[in-house]
Amino acid sequence: MDPITLATIALTLLATKATEKVGEKLGEGAIASAQQLMKLLQRRSPDTVKRLAAASDPNVIDVEIIEEVKRVAAADPEVQAAVNATAAAARADEIALQHLTKLAEKIGVVNLGTVQSQTNNISI
């Protein structure tokens, strides 16, 4: 799944407060990254944030919202970096990735690539 779609799904879950415990669907890292991206979008494109929050069903994401986030990210390198960070954080959490992938399939986005998960164990 491309970073824009993954980040937009995370943003929509966060913006619509899809559940009282967003952590049930997103890991802490994904939540923190999505919050940073949301703050950045609020400054750079407030209308985009309004559209994300107005989503009637967080399980069905409007393709136009994805395109809008893509357009804003293409125009602003800082937003693009935040999108990539949010996508990377979501990918790092397997449960969140599975949930977000299911949501993406609902909107017709198919994951054609392979997803690799890296686990680092550090012993001190």
Q: Given pLDDT bands bounded at 50, 70 and 90, which one contains residue 18?
A: low
pTM of the model: 0.62
| pLDDT over threshold 80, residue 98 | no
CB atoms within 10 A of CB 80: 17
Please say whether the beta carbons of 72 and 79 come within 8 A.
yes
Query: pLDDT (tens digit, 9 = 90+) per residue, 25-80?
Result: 556 777 788 888 889 989 998 988 888 877 766 566 677 888 888 899 999 999 99
Domain limits, the chain: 3-106
Average pLDDT, the chain: 73
Report d(CA 22, CA 15) in Å as an integer.
Answer: 10
Amino acid letter for position 41 = L
CB 60 within 8 A of CB 105: no
Look at the block and give the residue holding tokens 């136009």.
64
**How is residue 59 written in tokens?**
């399980």
What CA–CA distance (Å, rounded) separates 105 from 79?
25
Which DSSP category does 60 fall into? Answer: S
> Tens digit of pLDDT for each residue in 32-46?
888 888 899 899 989
